[in-house]
């Protein structure tokens, strides 16, 4: 019996420890379903009724259905609680869906999961369990209690919403290329039992793999690792496809003007890159080919005096690896800083062993159970086993050689962003240089500072630090024609569309500051003085009661955003972004005149029209990180609005059959489905007239226990922690890369 409808004035109390909430056997159950760009049909057979949802996702960015009771559900009688629902997928393609569970106070828990093709399974949404309240330093934890459900992955928001007042559950499909169908039934609340307090212990084996699971590609000995490596080495080739030019352009295609460096041109109505010899060039590459993100926090630490300090002029935000010289003193101060973390590993080497070369240290983290600590790179350790050396120069040279041979064999035309600068002078594969602008300049909050507050480009220190970053990149690139272009910064929180408060957070928070301490605020006040003759005119437009310009300078709290105010905010946000991009763009023209400015890699969740328009004035190529299943029509519209050459800086997918605990931001049902989704995404890029390339993130799987910086533990690599390629994904890439140019330009 459904408890979805009631005359009660408060949340419904459930008297048992397990309860059916909705089963579609009563007509009133249909009233609980709210549809967005979708239709529903009630179907019946001998097993009962279920609801089929038709999601019109091919033509809409978001499609969804929401289960919303007339009064919030009250599960407070349960010590721990989760929701379970039967979900079927009758089609040939898997469905990646987001799940938002909200309480009546507005707290929202975001989860995601893949519904495999032709499947019928029961899916668990944990709402209140001991493991949810535990910070393990991983983006997703091992299962902490035994059940037969498919575990959904926590993505963000409230880990444990108020179970006494669950107001709605929304299933959303976003950014897909075809219509989807789902069949739902039997929503119920369950109480988890018999939690395992040691659910994370003994998780990692000597090779950095899941010690508790078997899976295809798992390595059980160094001998097996060497055999797999030898087999692969025989299959690799160090030559380009025969249809490619020296710089991986389309040698069988037309030849345009050659400048000796990469550039852009619109050819037959499509934007394209042009290689140094004048051939059409499309950049399909893999990003993050470096050691920097291969380490994980071990749960050990040292006395602070033993840790190397960062140099004052470092231009990268990443912590370098290393202890102070005097390892015997450092080791004497080594201690367990987290038993939870240290117990995850079945093996770590002694500091006297050669394998200790893969230890490191991180001074700061973005998020995790510890603020700093010892790290270990199982990936580097496995490379050392494969190549029988711990000499850093020899090891990295062999790793780079194999990686480039893989790129050639697999057919990729370039690297993506964040390739180790040691590749820059190899002159074997085109690449993109990158840098970060960091330093002691003033900042401003956007209201959603996920990766940190935004820089104040009106602070002279920002320009000084930007010059340091650009000079460093120029020194690394050495005017090399193999460098396609330069990315500066990444996924900054410029603002987001949806509400004026989110869109203009930078402006709103800058206005709060006194002009005396905020160069940005002074610039905004000057602009407003240019737009308004006096403070009375500003007050009339804004509905404010400022008695002078000095009152505005002292700090102004925005409460209600009027239409005139919104128009002014748009101008101020544009000026803010224009200042940032003008500084960076001018520096790149000065120090690297032959290389393109590829932009800041906008996150699709953190950009606005004003910022995009400002960037378009200064960059050569717009860049976007777009984590969806493909370039859907709404995103086409964003690209078309500017009509500029654009590139996808990041996308990926992952699965749960690799031994890892998290598939990444986009889910596939298995490794074969990863290859299928990869091709679908890439063909949507190749067929788009504005996009000149796309870069997969990333080359190597995240560490099983989470990368040291922020706990990402995703199956998103082309290779595993054992440096073994995922063959179904590789095969899909090879097939696609053979016809990139003919598909894009020969139509």
Residue 389 DSSP label: -
Contacts 24+ apart (CB under 8 A), 256-265: 256/280, 260/481, 260/594, 261/481, 261/594, 261/595, 262/430, 262/481, 262/483, 262/484, 262/485, 262/595, 262/596, 263/596, 263/620, 264/596, 264/620, 264/621, 264/645, 264/692
Using one digit for the tens of pLDDT, what is the confidence trace for 231-269? 999 999 999 999 999 999 999 999 999 999 999 999 999
Find the mean pLDDT for residues 600-625.
97
Residue 283 DSSP label: E
Domains of the chain: 12-190 (2.60.120.430), 296-376 (no CATH), 403-518+571-745 (3.20.20.80)
Find the mean pLDDT for residues 24-39.
93
**What is the reported pLDDT for 308?**
63
- How many other β-carbons are positioned within 10 Å of the β-carbon of residue 448? 14
> What is the number of alpha carbons within 13 Å of residue 35 lying toward its C-beta?
15
Q: How far is CA 69 from CA 133, 311, 575, in A?
A: 27, 57, 46
| SS3 category, 623 | strand
Residues in CB range of 512: below 8 A, 6 or more apart: 555, 556, 557, 558
Q: Which of 715, 713, 696, 695 lies closest to 704 in space, CA to CA?
A: 713
Q: What are phi and psi of 335, to 5 degrees?
A: -150, 160
Residue 720 · residue 729 · CB < 8 Å: no
Residue 746: pLDDT band by 50, 70, 90 thresholds? confident
| SS3 category, 292 | coil
Using one digit for the tens of pLDDT, what is the confidence trace for 521-533? 999 999 999 999 8
Using one digit for the tens of pLDDT, what is the confidence trace for 57-106? 998 989 999 999 999 999 999 999 999 999 999 999 999 999 999 999 99
Residue 667 · residue 113 · CB < 8 Å: yes
Distance (Å, whole) CA 310 – CA 180: 51
Q: Which of 140, 317, 90 lies closest to 713 in space, CA to CA?
A: 140
Q: How far is CA 330 from CA 70, 292, 305, 335, 355, in A?
A: 62, 22, 9, 10, 17
Find the mean pLDDT for residues 140-144.
94
Residue 144 DSSP label: -
Using one digit for the tens of pLDDT, what is the confidence trace for 487-522? 999 999 999 998 999 999 999 999 999 999 999 999
Distance (Å, whole) CA 367 – CA 299: 14
**What is the reported pLDDT for 11?**
55
Residues in CB range of 135: below 8 A, 6 or more apart: 368, 369
Percent above pLDDT 90 for the chain: 87
Residues forming beta bridges with residue 296, ordered by sequence position: 376
pLDDT higher than threshold 90 for residue 1: no
Residue linked to tokens 């679908």 = 680
Residue linked to tokens 């737009």 = 531
> What is the number of alpha carbons within 13 Å of residue 368 lying toward its C-beta?
29
Q: Which of 434, 428, 376 lies closest to 400 in space, CA to CA?
A: 428
Residues forming beta bridges with residue 219, ordered by sequence position: none
Using one digit for the tens of pLDDT, what is the confidence trace for 528-562? 999 998 999 999 999 999 999 999 999 999 988 99
The conformational region for residue 416 under phi > 0 = left, psi -120 to 50 = alpha, else beta, is beta
Please tell me whether the peptide bond between 698 and the residue prior to it is cis, using omega within 30 degrees of 0. Answer: yes
Distance (Å, whole) CA 331 – CA 462: 39
Contacts 24+ apart (CB under 8 A), 531-536: 531/568, 531/571
Residues in CB range of 466: below 8 A, 6 or more apart: 437, 488, 583, 584, 587
Q: Which of 166, 112, 116, 100 lies closest to 139 in space, CA to CA?
A: 112
Mean pLDDT, the chain, integer: 93
**What is the reported pLDDT for 330?**
67
Q: Across 307-430, where does the E strand assignment appear?
A: 335-336, 359-362, 373-376, 414-415
Q: How far is CA 237 from CA 393, 404, 430, in A?
A: 23, 9, 17
Q: Which of 663, 705, 724, 717 lies closest to 348 in space, CA to CA?
A: 705
Token pair for 170: 């929304």
Residue 62 · residue 100 · CB < 8 Å: no
Residue 705 · residue 344 · CB < 8 Å: yes
Pairing of the two strands 280-281 and 270-274:
antiparallel
Residues forming beta bridges with residue 454, ordered by sequence position: 444
Residue 367 · residue 710 · CB < 8 Å: yes
**What is the reported pLDDT for 235?**
96
Q: Which of 627, 633, 639, 626 lies closest to 59 in space, CA to CA?
A: 633
Token pair for 106: 């507005």
Q: What angle do CA 103, 108, 109 make, to 5 degrees?
A: 110
Distance (Å, whole) CA 658 – CA 277: 42
Name the helix (H) or strand (E) containing 116: none
Residue 235 · residue 740 · CB < 8 Å: no
Distance (Å, whole) CA 209 – CA 229: 17
Q: How far apart are the first and last CA of the chain?
A: 58
* Weakest-pLDDT range from 16-20, 577-581, 710-714: 16-20
Using one digit for the tens of pLDDT, what is the confidence trace for 618-670? 999 999 999 999 999 888 899 999 999 999 999 999 999 999 999 999 999 99
Pairing of the two strands 12-13 and 73-74:
parallel
Q: How far is CA 470 from CA 313, 318, 597, in A?
A: 13, 17, 11
Find the mean pLDDT for residues 460-479.
98
- How many other β-carbons are positioned within 10 Å of the β-carbon of residue 148? 8
Using one digit for the tens of pLDDT, what is the confidence trace for 314-353? 444 444 444 444 456 667 889 999 999 999 999 999 999 9
Using one digit for the tens of pLDDT, what is the confidence trace for 170-193? 999 999 999 999 999 999 999 998
Residue 385 · residue 373 · CB < 8 Å: no
Residue linked to tokens 């490619």 = 244
**What is the reported pLDDT for 27?**
84
């Amino acid at each position: 019996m459904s408890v979805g409808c009631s005359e009660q004035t408060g949340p419904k109390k459930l008297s048992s420890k397990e309860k059916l909430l909705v089963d579609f056997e009563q007509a009133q159950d249909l009233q609980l379903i709210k549809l967005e760009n979708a239709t529903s049909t009630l179907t019946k057979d001998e097993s009962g009724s279920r609801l089929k949802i038709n999601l019109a996702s091919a033509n809409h960015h978001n499609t969804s259905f929401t289960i919303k009771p007339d009064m919030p559900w009250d599960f407070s009688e349960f010590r721990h609680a989760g929701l379970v629902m039967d979900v079927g997928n009758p089609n040939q393609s898997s469905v990646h869906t987001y799940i938002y569970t909200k309480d009546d106070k507005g707290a929202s828990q975001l989860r995601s999961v893949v519904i495999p093709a032709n499947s019928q399974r029961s899916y668990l949404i944990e709402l209140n369990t001991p493991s949810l309240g535990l910070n393990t330093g991983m983006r997703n934890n091992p299962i902490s209690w035994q059940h037969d459900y498919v575990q959904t992955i926590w993505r963000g928001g409230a880990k444990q919403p108020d179970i006494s007042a669950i107001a709605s559950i929304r299933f959303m499909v976003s950014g897909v290329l075809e219509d989807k169908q789902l069949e739902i039934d039997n929503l119920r609340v369950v109480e988890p039992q018999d939690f395992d307090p040691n659910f994370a212990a003994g998780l990692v084996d000597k090779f950095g793999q899941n010690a508790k699971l078997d899976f295809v590609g798992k390595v059980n000995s160094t001998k097996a690792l060497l055999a797999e490596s030898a087999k692969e080495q025989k299959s690799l080739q160090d030559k380009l496809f025969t249809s490619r030019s020296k710089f991986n352009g389309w040698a069988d295609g037309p030849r345009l003007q050659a400048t000796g460096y990469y550039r852009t041109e619109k050819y037959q109505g499509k934007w394209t890159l042009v290689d140094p010899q004048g051939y059409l060039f499309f950049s399909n590459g893999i990003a993050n080919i470096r050691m920097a993100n291969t380490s994980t926090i071990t749960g050990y630490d040292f006395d602070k005096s033993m840790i190397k300090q960062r140099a004052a002029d470092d231009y990268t935000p990443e912590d370098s690896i290393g202890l102070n010289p005097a390892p015997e003193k450092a080791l004497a101060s080594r201690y367990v800083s987290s038993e939870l973390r240290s117990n995850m590993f079945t093996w770590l080497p002694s500091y006297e062993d050669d394998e200790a070369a893969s230890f490191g240290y991180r001074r700061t983290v973005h998020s995790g159970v510890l603020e700093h600590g010892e790290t270990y790179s199982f990936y580097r350790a496995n490379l050392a086993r494969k190549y029988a050396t711990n000499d850093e120069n020899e090891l990295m040279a062999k790793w780079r050689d194999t990686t480039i041979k893989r790129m050639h064999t697999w057919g990729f035309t370039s690297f993506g962003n964040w390739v180790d600068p040691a590749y820059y002078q190899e002159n074997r594969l085109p690449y993109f240089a990158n840098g970060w602008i960091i330093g002691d300049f003033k900042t401003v909050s956007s209201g959603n500072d996920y990766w940190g507050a935004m820089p104040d480009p009106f602070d002279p220190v920002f320009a000084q630090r930007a010059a340091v970053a650009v000079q460093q990149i120029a020194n690394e690139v050495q005017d090399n024609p193999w460098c396609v272009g330069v990315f500066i910064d990444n996924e900054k929180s410029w603002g987001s569309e949806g509400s004026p408060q989110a869109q203009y957070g930078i402006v709103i928070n800058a206005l709060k500051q006194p002009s005396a301490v905020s160069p940005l605020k002074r610039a905004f006040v000057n602009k407003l003085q240019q737009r308004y003759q006096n403070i009375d005119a500003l007050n009339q437009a804004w509905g404010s009661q400022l008695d002078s310009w000095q009152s505005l300078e002292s700090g102004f709290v925005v409460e209600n955003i009027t239409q005139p105010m919104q128009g002014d905010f748009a101008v101020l946000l544009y000026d803010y972004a224009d200042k940032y991009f003008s500084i960076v763009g001018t520096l790149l023209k000065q120090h690297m005149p032959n290389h393109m400015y590829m932009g800041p890699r906008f996150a699709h969740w953190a950009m606005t029209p004003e910022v995009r328009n400002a960037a378009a004035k200064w960059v050569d190529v717009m860049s976007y990180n777009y984590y969806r299943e493909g370039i859907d029509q709404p995103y086409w519209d964003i690209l078309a609005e500017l009509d500029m050459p654009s590139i996808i800086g990041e996308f990926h997918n992952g699965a749960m059959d690799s031994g890892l605990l998290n598939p990444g931001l986009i889910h596939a049902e298995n490794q074969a489905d990863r290859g299928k989704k990869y091709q679908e995404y890439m063909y949507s890029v190749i067929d788009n007239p504005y996009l000149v390339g796309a870069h997969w993130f990333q080359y190597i799987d995240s560490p099983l226990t989470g990368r040291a910086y922020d706990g990402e533990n995703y199956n998103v690599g082309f290779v595993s922690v054992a440096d073994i390629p995922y063959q179904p994904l590789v095969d899909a890439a090879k097939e696609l890369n053979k016809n990139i140019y003919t598909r894009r330009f020969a139509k």
